[in-house]
Amino acid sequence: MSINILAIESSCDETSASVIIDGVVKNNIIATQSIHEKYGGVVPELASRAHQQHIVPVVNEAIADANITKSDLSAIAFTQGPGLLGALLVGASFAKSMAMALGIPVIGVNHMKAHILAHFIDDPKPQFPFLCLTVSGGHTQIVRVDAPLKMEVIGATRDDAVGEAFDKCAKIMGLPYPGGPLIDRYAKDGDPHKFTFPQTDMPGLDYSFSGIKTAFLYFLRDQVKSNPAFIEEEKNHLSASIQKTLIDMLMAKLKRASRETGIQRIAIAGGVSANSGLRSRLEEMKDQFNWEVFIPAFQYCTDNAGMIAMTAHFQYLEKDFCSYYAVPKPRMQI
């Protein structure tokens, strides 16, 4: 009898559903919330309301697209954390209620573990152990992965995540939300060496990105005083330079982690792993350091239910279920 799992992702501003059958992800349905653009960031209450509107249609579409019915489901998985509490509550409540009605197990999934296990959706799949640089708007971590459900964070940011740094620097430049992808786009036509910004070097394998945002703000403030059109005139070069600086910081610690652990299988995951500059740099370093590099497909970089489904499959095999009364964990850790 096949293992059919419905997975639901609702940690932030993407409402997503996916069906996985015997370890094969059949679909990845995503409803994006555009309402946050005019506010310059995600508004938690608006995100929760949008999840309520989208969750039934995306779940129905995922089940129909997989050519199964609700009665065929073996379990239902949901993102338990980390994330926005209200957004998590929508997905968790829906999943637990549906599972209880069908009399099947429910699986609470760690969102950050799921980003890493997205590498097991498509080929090539990394062998264990490997290192994963997990980079998003809320997290920056170097994770040692020894098995699907055995992971250890060996380095992390002590303040802001690199994704937040991208978005905040974009906002300082007057770019609309989300600004990270716009910096990536403009950087392609800019000179990454035109401007230099100070890098913070934390002890061990940890990161800090709060200082570079402040330095970028003060630099632009001083330049605009003498030339009000500076940002618009130098937009491409500013984007390329700040992107290079942030990637340099990420790669310095990743190189150190590989050297200290002796692990040369390197993966990236999370929303920032869609950044073309980061992907290109990793490909360059593959030959330089003899790394075996794994880069996820774009659809599995940002928040999506496909990665929740893949993680739930591994948890199902281990009978790692949770209670129908399990609560969301906004600050859940790996």
Q: pTM of the prediction?
A: 0.94
Which residue stretches of the chain have pLDDT < 50?
none
Number of H helices, E strands in the chain: 10, 11
Contact 30, 111 (CB under 8 A): no
Q: Can you give the pLDDT at residue 137? A: 83
Closest residue by Cα to residue 241 from 194, 183, 198 = 194
Domain 4-116+301-317, CATH homologous superfamily name and number: ATPase, nucleotide binding domain (3.30.420.40)
Neighbour count for residue 229 (Cβ, 10 Å): 8
pLDDT in tens, 263-301: 999 999 999 999 999 999 999 999 999 999 999 999 999
Q: Can you give the pLDDT at residue 39? A: 63
Q: Can you give the pLDDT at residue 298? A: 92
Residue 282 three-state SS: helix
Q: Can you give the pLDDT at residue 7? A: 98
Q: What is the dotted CATH code of the domain comprising 125-296?
A: 3.30.420.40
The residue ranges of every structural domain in the chain are 4-116+301-317, 125-296
Do 4-116+301-317 and 125-296 come out as alike in CATH topology? Answer: yes
